[in-house]
Amino acid sequence: MTLGTQRRVHPLTHLTGAASSAVRPVLESARAPARVLAAVSMGVYLEVRTELEPSVIALITGEATRLPNSVLLAGELPHVSVGDEAAVGDGVIELGRYRVKARRWWDPSPALPSVDLVRLAQATSALSPQTTRRPGLEGNAAITLLASGCAAGSLLRAVTAAEQLVGLGPGLTPSGDDVLAGLLVALRHLGSAAKVERAVWLADWLAAAVTFDAGTRTTPISATLLHCAARGEASPEVSAVLRGITGQQALEPALRRLLQLGHTSGADLAQGVRIGLDSVLALGARP
């Protein structure tokens, strides 16, 4: 080979991490192409060209919010740029000179104990609008319709409101999506814990409506998080609030941590959880 034409070959950098079980089907499926959707100081977001969900996988550091579609890395964050090509599948993530493999798994679905409605009602004061940050869609008519429809068990009203909220608001995770994510997780898990079957039924139908066309109406990252929420998967901050509501841990500190997320994301998620809590109480009190 002529001098000057040699090409330097960088050795692979092997990284390991703890992955959410939500991304296991994508990681363990056949290899599929992906690209870097976003790259920030604490995370790299990959959009995988697959029919499976979640289609966006977040590679994060320990300082980042552990979203339910995350792989928490034990080492450095890959140095990449938006648009870089990658591959996901066959148990690994390949991104430039980086090769990431999950060594451990964690469950993004909170495990809640059985609880009665009296215990749930005690948590409503902590989640009142007066004690939380202002959500991004405060006063929005669709939020009001969503809350009243869910509390009444009206699928028509709830779905009508949800369809108006998908993708509503700016940012990678619009406020409308965050409210819906908090609601879906709260309805499913609090409804199951309190044995309010109507709430779980409502969560199933709302989940189907919200995820039906999320891929075309909101950002890829937010659409993925809606799919996760539809299955009851959430960040540790949301799960901690649900555990606080059911008495497994202190509610107020957990709520403070949730409200610190993003510009309004924490407040929007808390608003969705509150709507879910109120709905479980209202539906559980009906004969």
Residue numbers of the domain that contains 245 = 117-285
pLDDT tens for 125-184 read: 999 876 667 888 988 999 999 999 999 999 999 999 999 999 999 878 999 999 999 999
CATH code for the domain in which residue 62 is found: 2.40.50
Evaluate if residue 71 carries a pLDDT over 70: yes
pLDDT tens for 232-254 read: 999 999 999 999 999 999 999 99
Please indicate, yes or no, whether residues 181 and 279 belong to a single structural domain of this protein.
yes
Taking residues 84-105, report their average pLDDT: 95
Structure token digits, residue 46 = 């990959």
Q: What was the pLDDT predicted at 132?
A: 67
Residue with tokens 């937010």: 222
Please indicate, yes or no, whether residues 99 and 168 belong to a single structural domain of this protein.
no
Please indicate, yes or no, whether residues 162 and 81 belong to a single structural domain of this protein.
no
Torsion sign, CA atoms 162, 163, 165, 167: positive
Please indicate, yes or no, whether residues 96 and 147 belong to a single structural domain of this protein.
no
Q: Is the pTM of this model over 0.85?
A: yes
Q: Looking at the 3D structure of the chain, how many domains does it have? A: 2
What is the H or E stretch that residue 273 is in? helix 265-285
Say if 7 falls within a structural domain. no
Say if 5 falls within a structural domain. no
Say if 112 falls within a structural domain. no
